[in-house]
Amino acid sequence: MVEDMIIVCQTFDRHFCINVWQKISGVDVQKTEKITVRLTRDQIDTLSIIVTQENIDSISEVVRTAVQEFIRNHSAPIIGESIDVKIPKEDVRKLNTLVECGDFLSAQEIIRVAVKEYVDKRLDRILETGTTMEDVEKKRMLREEEESKISEYVKK
């Protein structure tokens, strides 16, 4: 459990370095991790404007908020189940290339984005035909009923 985060700002080689120290509670020995990030002078100036306009105590608080928001927005949703998918090796190589190019953080992120885009397109097509989600659900239930009846008939 994260108890507190302290951010120390220093100037270095015309860049702004931010040392992030994070205290972790619940452990006998306190552990810290240092993360150094270089920001351009423009970014520092923008952060200073945000501090002034929004009446925030320091640039450190703005950066902490940015990091927390980024983690919240980019963390995988907590779901009740995971799905194992077999993907051809060539496609895995292509996924890894996309990650290496820097567009995505991981192959898992790419897959989540791909699934979301695919589902969104399918829903758009369904809605364009005038079909409602209730209609889709009814069709699914009818199909399940039919499959159930067929399996019962086969068992006899």
Domain coordinates in residue numbering, the chain = 2-74, 89-155
Query: DSSP string covering 61-101, please?
Result: HHHHHHHHHHHHHHSPPP-S--------HHHHHHHHHHHHT
Model confidence at 16, pLDDT cuts 50, 70, 90, reads very low
| pLDDT bracket for residue 100 (50, 70, 90) | confident
Taking the C-alpha atoms of residue 98 and residue 68, their distance in angstroms, rounded to an integer, is 25
Residue 7 has pLDDT above 60, yes or no: no
Instruction: For residue 26, name the pLDDT band (cuts at 50, 70, 90).
Output: very low
Mean pLDDT of the chain: 69
Q: Is residue 16 packed enough to be buried (19+ CB in 10 Å), middle (13-18) or exposed (0-12)?
A: buried
Distance CA 58, CA 63 (A): 9
Q: How far apart are CA 134 and CA 140, in angstroms?
A: 10
pLDDT of residue 154: 66
pLDDT at 76 > cutoff 70: no
Residue 11: how many other CB atoms lie within 10 Å: 10
Q: Which residue has the tokens 């507190």?
A: 4
pLDDT score recorded for residue 77: 61
